[in-house]
Amino acid sequence: MAETTTRAAQPRGFRSAELGWPELHRIPHPPRRLPLLGDVLGVNRATPLQDSLRFARQLGPIYRRKAFNREFVFVWGADLVADLADESRFAKHVGLGVANLRPVAGDGLFTAYNHEPNWQLAHDVLAPGFSREAMEAYHPMMLAVAGRLTDYWDRERTAGRSVDVPGDMTKLTLETIARTGFGHDFGSFERDRPHPFVTAMVGTLTYAQRLNSVPFPALLRRAAQRNADDIAYLNRMVDDLVRARRAAGGDGDLLDRMLETAHPETGERLSPENVRRQVITFLVAGHETTSGALSFALHYLSRHPEVAARARAEVDRVWGSAAVPGYDQVAKLRYVRRVLDESLRLWPTAPAFAREAVQDTVLAGRHPMRRGAWTLVLTPMLQRDPEVWGADAERFDPDRFDPKAVRSRPPHVFKPFGTGARACIGRQFALHEATLVLGLLLRRYELRADPGYRLSVTERLTLMPEGLRLHLERRADSGATAAPVAESDEAPAASESRCPVSRAGD
């Protein structure tokens, strides 16, 4: 494992890049760098990721930016990222906004440092919770929550109102992970305002991002107090949830695994404090990114009626007249899955991941790195690299994920769930949920975009389309009358779009 702490117990990557990159001068940076302030001209504190993408287009596949007294290296070139995926030389680096979440998530799966033992313990205990058998058990609950969404959307449509896509997808995915993982119902669709959990979660994510844009955290004194209040609320809510479970007994879900399952080899169990951290991690990460992925996919479907028609025809053909789809029928929606993958290509809702050198090395044979040096991979730029994706890489085209197209591309160019041993443990859960929901919505509605809407992306560590509303038209037959036909013999997408649960991490 890579050692990621110093004697001061801070991530080594908090060091400025010149300490880890001996030939940093060879890496370009934005023009007009200001003394003391760094590369701040023309940037917006609310859109650091989109600013980084703009600089990436100007400066190329590897570049650096300086903010006050710290300098960072960004990478998006396909050959560089492929080299960073080498697990023998690089590991996950916890830095930037991720480390800023440690006051709430601690050594949970997403925010743990590589050397912290609870990461491996929790991963080994919880990985069976994402097996095929477990996923099949979650499927009816996913259907039930999706039914609450469509009931709500039917009421909004009848009243002549458009629907708030990001807000409603957040309600959907929060309820899904809460019910499947922890047996809890937030009552999101019965509320006029977001559940306090969502408000507190958004507050912690926003504060974590703001910490990256100020030279001294003391400048955010009032925001820090609000953040402390948000964290206290999240902790209380989870503690109440755990107490209720202990009193009521097991339900066979993720929370039961956290409370009752011992490591198969060591017999060790998660501590009560770590259980709290894992629950918060799953509730936050288990719904925030999936809601964004669904929202972007619905945006593109509304803007590309020919794609929506093709996807809808697949749903009608594969699901036929069945009142609700079975678990195995979801994976047969191969074109719907391509729509989701293409949306994740253009706007991966977790838009970056950091990699740290575990030994002195040379990145792609060109850029020396000392042990502990790190870089941030800009996933949206990697997945728009014209040398890989073509001159039309900015265009939405689900056929990029036709199996033949996938096989023609090099590995490591599609990374919406991260890479390596600590890629997202819940990847299969998110993909099943999102494909199921898209299929259900396409089967039930025609999606009409507001002609005046232009995609605007809001950033709070994850990405979400801002202000996206859609008008709904109920399909006359709801897609449930077509007779089923034989399944296509087309193979599912290759390794780019599949990740065996046994190899998933965080």
What is 421-473 written as a DSSP string?
GGS-TTHHHHHHHHHHHHHHHHHHEEEEE-TT----EEEESEEEETT-EEEEE
Q: What is the mean pLDDT of residues 30-37?
A: 90
Query: Model confidence over 413-423: pLDDT tens digits?
Result: 999 999 999 99
Task: Identify the weakest region by mean pLDDT among 113-117, 207-211, 454-458.
Answer: 207-211
Q: Is the pLDDT of residue 113 over 90?
A: yes
Q: What pLDDT is attached to residue 477?
A: 67
Q: List Cα–Cα distances, 474 to 172, 295, 317, 447, 471, in angstroms.
A: 20, 19, 19, 9, 10
Q: At what angle do helices 165-182 and 272-303 cross, to 10 degrees?
A: 140
The residues assigned a catalytic role are: 289, 417, 424
Are 453 and 438 in contact by the 8 Å Cβ rule? The answer is no
Q: What is the mean pLDDT of residues 479-495?
A: 41
pTM given for the model = 0.91
Q: What pLDDT is attached to residue 260?
A: 93
Task: Name residues whose C-beta falls within 8 Å of residue 166's C-beta, 6 or more positions apart in sequence.
Answer: 291, 292, 295, 464, 465, 466, 468
Other CB atoms within 10 A of residue 409 CB: 16
Q: What pLDDT is attached to residue 503?
A: 32
Are 215 and 141 in contact by the 8 Å Cβ rule? The answer is no
Give the closest residue to 349 by CA, choosing from 272, 282, 297, 401.
Answer: 297
Are 302 and 442 in contact by the 8 Å Cβ rule? The answer is no
Give one DSSP letter per residue of 252-308, joined into a string.
SSHHHHHHHPPPTTT-----HHHHHHHHHHHHHHHHHHHHHHHHHHHHHHHH-HHHH
pLDDT tier, 160 (very low <50, low <70, confident <90, very high otherwise): very high
Q: Residue 402 gets which letter from DSSP?
A: S
Q: List Cα–Cα distances, 301 to 275, 312, 447, in angstroms.
A: 39, 10, 7
Q: List Cα–Cα distances, 470 to 114, 154, 274, 342, 452, in angstroms.
A: 42, 13, 40, 20, 11
Are 493 and 403 in contact by the 8 Å Cβ rule? The answer is yes
Give the closest residue to 20 by CA, choosing from 484, 473, 432, 373.
Answer: 373
Query: Model confidence over 53-86: pLDDT tens digits?
Result: 999 999 999 999 998 888 999 999 999 999 999 9
Q: What pLDDT is attached to residue 482?
A: 38
Task: Name residues whose C-beta falls within 8 Å of residue 427's C-beta, 6 or more positions apart in sequence.
Answer: 417, 499, 504
Rounded distance between C-alpha atoms, residue 18 and residue 347, angstroms: 30
Beta bridge pairs of residue 163: 470
pLDDT tier, 493 (very low <50, low <70, confident <90, very high otherwise): very low
The distance from CA 265 to its chain's CA centroid, rounded to whole angstroms, is 31
Q: What is the mean pLDDT of residues 459-481?
A: 85
Phi, psi of 481 (to 5 degrees): -110, -10
Over the chain, what is the mean pLDDT? 90
Q: What pLDDT is attached to residue 363?
A: 98
Q: Is 407 helix (H, G, I), strand (E, B) or coil?
A: helix
Q: Is 397 helix (H, G, I), strand (E, B) or coil?
A: coil
Give the closest residue to 211 by CA, choosing from 68, 15, 5.
Answer: 68
Of 466 and 96, the structure prediction assigns the larger pLDDT to 466
Q: What pLDDT is attached to residue 453?
A: 96
